[in-house]
Structure 1
Amino acid sequence: MANPRAGEVAVILDGTRQVMKLTLGALAELEEALGCDSLAALVARLEGGEVSARDVLALIVAGLRGGGWQGRTADLMAVEIEGGPVEAARLAALLVARAFGEAA
């Protein structure tokens, strides 16, 4: 079960529930994946209103890795995310909100 107060978000991948969390290590990976040189730059990019599918995928991967998943981005390319791309984007946004203090 995902704990919103701990910044966790649940996602269903190929019918299996996984927990995502943006730990410090996951945020560092995310900065690198998105080419941001600071946490402030990362947040500005995500709040900029033009988040790409690549950004959503990077957020999901970082969150999964922060939750203990050992996979890589390539592993997620063939996985079905329950709810499709719209749900993936919603979960990515929720993950960011919870990482920065909103237990929504």
Structure 2
Amino acid sequence: MANPFAGEVELCVDGARLPAKLTLGALAELEAGLGTGTLAELVGRFESGAFSGRDLMLLITAGLRGGGWQGRAEDLLTAEIEGGPVGAAEAAARMLALAFRVPE
């Protein structure tokens, strides 16, 4: 079960419930995968709804790896993510919100 207080969300991939979170390492992996893009640009794209499928795939992969998953983006190409693209986008948006929230 995911712990939102630790920045985790839960993704169901091929029937397995997996924790996902944007750790510092996951964010670095995401930044490297974006090439010339910055994390601030990615957050802006998600906030405006102008993100690409590639953005979503990289974010989901980085988050799953931050949660301990050992897979690669290629492993998700044929995977069934609960909720489909909309469910994946919602989980990605929650991960971003949790990663950049200021503790109270």
Task: Determine if the TM-score, normalized by the shorter chain, exceeds 0.5.
Answer: yes
Q: TM-score, normalised by structure 2?
A: 0.88
What pairs up with 1:23-34 in 2 under 5 angstroms? 23-34=23-34
- CA RMSD, 1 decimal: 1.9
Give identity over the alignment, percent: 61
Q: TM-score, normalised by structure 1?
A: 0.88
Kindly indicate whether the alpha-carbon contact (under 8 Å) linking 1:31 and 1:42 is maintained by their aligned counterparts in 2.
no
Kindly indicate whether the alpha-carbon contact (under 8 Å) linking 1:59 and 1:92 is maintained by their aligned counterparts in 2.
yes
One-letter identity of the residue aligned with 2:62: A
One-letter identity of the residue aligned with 1:25: G
The structural deviation recorded for 1:35 is: 2.0
| Structure 2 gap ranges (5+) | none
Q: Which residue of 1 aligns with 2:76?
A: 76
1:27-77 deviation digits (Å, cap 9, x = unpaired): 001011112465444434444531011111111000000001011010111
Aligned pairs, number? 103
* Residue 83 to residue 39, structure 1, CA distance change in 2 (3 Å): closer
Kindly indicate whether the alpha-carbon contact (under 8 Å) linking 1:21 and 1:63 is maintained by their aligned counterparts in 2.
yes
Please identify runs of 4+ aligned residues in structure 1 that moved more than 6 A: none
